[in-house]
C-alpha cells in the first residue's frame, strides 16, 4: 500500500474514477501505519480486504518493502479464509489503473490479477521496443461454450481512455439471460496498441456472439 501522505484519500468515497466506463469496483485503501505514519499495518490491510470483497475476490496491489510483508501477513489475518485474495506483483500505478479497468469491465479475479501484473509492458515496450508479449490474450473459458476473439488494432496506438471505453462498452454487453454468468474477459492489454476482447459463454451464445462481433472493430 502506498506510503501515507496528507493528500492521500483514506476513504474510497473520495475517489472519482472519471476514466471508468462502468460501475467502479470496490476500492479500499490501507496506506500508512498508526497515526498515518509512513509504513504499513497488516491489520488495516486485512480489514481493507474484507471491506473490498463482494464475493468475486480481491486483488491487492502494494508498493514496496514492508507493504509486501504486511499484505502477506494480512492474508493470514483475514478472518474469513474463504475470501479469494490475489497479491499481485504489479507496478503500483500502472497495476492499479489496469486492475480497476479490468474489474470494472467484469473480468474475473485471475484476469484482473494477470492484467495488473503485466501492466508495465506498455511502458517497457515504449522504452525498449520489445516486440513480443508474454500476455495470453485469450482467457481460459474451459467450461465450454464458444470463444470468440476480436483484436482491435489502431496503428497509431490506442490511448488509455479509448482503451477503457472499448473495454467498458464490450464488457457491459450482456449475454441474453446470462448477466450473472457472463465470462467476458476484456483486458486492457499491456501492449497499449491493442485491446483484446474475448469470450462469452452461455446458452444463447450464438446470438450474443453475433451481436458483439457485429460491432465495428475498425480502429
Partner 1 sequence: MADAVVTLDQLTGWVRRFNDLVIKNQAELTELDSAIGDADHGINMARGMSAVINKLAGDPPSQVNELCKTVAMTLVTSVGGASGPLYGTFFLRFAGAAGPATELDAEALDMALRAGLTGIVERGKAAPGDKTMVDALSPAVDAMELVIKNGGDLVAAVAAAREAAAAGRDSTVPLVARKGRASYLGERSAGHMDPGAASMSLLFDALAAELGH
Q: Between residues 35 and 156, which has the closer beta carbon with respect to partner 1?
A: 35
Write the DSSP symbol of residue 101: H
Q: Which is nearer to partner 1, 34 or 80 (CB)?
A: 34
Please give the grid coordinates belonging to residue 169: 462498452
Least gap, CB of 114 to partner 1 (angstroms): 23
User: Measured from the CB atom, is 75 or 185 closer to partner 1?
Assistant: 75
- What b/e string do you get for 177-193 counting C-beta neighbours within 10 Å, with b at 16 or more? ebeeebbbbbbbbbbbb
Of the candidates 130, 116, 196, the one whose C-alpha atom is nearest the C-alpha of residue 158 is 196
CB of 71 to partner 1, least distance (A): 9
Q: What's the CA gap between 67 and 190, in Å, rounded?
A: 24
Q: Which residue number, 40 or 191, has a Cβ lying nearer to partner 1?
A: 40
* 3-state SS assignment for residue 65: coil
Question: Is the distance from CB of 113 to CB of 88 less than 8 angstroms?
Answer: yes
Decide whether 75 or 195 has the Cβ nearer to partner 1.
75
Quote the least distance from Cβ 147 to partner 1, whole Å.
38
Shortest separation between residue 141's beta carbon and partner 1, angstroms: 35
CB proximity list for 62: less than 8 A, separation 6 or greater = 1, 40, 68, 70, 71, 87, 92
Closest of 207, 143, 125, 142 to residue 173, by C-alpha: 207
Check if the beta carbon of residue 109 is closer than 8 Å to that of residue 168. Answer: no
- Minimal distance, residue 53 CB to partner 1, in Å: 21
Neighbours of 81 (CB within 10 A): 8
Can you give the binding site for partner 1, defined by CB under 8 A? 33-34, 37-44, 65-66, 69-70, 72-73
CB nearer to partner 1: give 70 or 173: 70
Q: How far is the CB of 73 from partner 1 (least distance, A)?
A: 4
Amino acid at each position: 500500500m502506498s506510503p501515507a501522505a496528507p493528500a492521500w484519500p483514506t476513504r474510497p468515497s473520495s475517489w472519482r474514477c472519471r476514466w471508468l466506463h462502468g460501475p467502479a469496483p470496490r476500492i479500499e485503501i490501507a496506506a500508512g501505519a498508526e497515526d498515518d505514519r509512513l509504513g504499513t499495518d497488516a491489520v488495516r490491510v486485512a480489514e481493507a480486504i474484507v471491506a473490498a470483497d463482494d464475493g468475486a475476490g480481491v486483488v491487492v496491489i502494494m508498493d514496496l518493502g514492508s507493504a509486501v510483508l504486511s499484505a502477506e501477513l494480512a492474508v493470514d489475518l483475514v478472518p474469513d479464509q474463504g475470501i479469494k485474495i490475489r497479491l499481485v506483483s504489479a507496478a503500483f500505478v500502472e497495476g492499479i489503473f489496469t486492475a480497476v479497468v479490468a474489474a470494472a469491465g467484469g473480468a474475473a479475479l485471475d484476469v484482473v490479477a494477470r492484467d495488473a501484473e503485466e501492466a508495465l509492458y506498455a511502458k517497457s515496450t515504449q522504452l525498449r521496443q520489445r516486440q513480443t508479449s508474454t500476455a495470453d490474450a485469450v482467457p481460459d473459458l474451459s467450461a465450454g461454450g464458444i470463444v470468440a476473439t476480436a483484436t482491435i488494432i489502431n496503428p497509431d496506438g490506442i490511448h488509455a481512455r479509448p482503451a477503457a471505453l472499448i473495454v467498458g462498452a464490450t464488457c457491459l454487453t450482456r449475454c441474453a439471460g446470462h448477466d450473472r454468468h457472463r465470462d467476458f474477459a476484456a483486458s486492457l492489454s499491456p501492449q497499449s496498441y491493442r485491446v483484446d476482447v474475448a469470450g462469452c459463454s452461455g446458452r444463447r451464445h450464438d446470438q450474443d456472439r453475433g451481436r458483439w462481433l457485429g460491432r465495428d472493430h475498425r480502429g
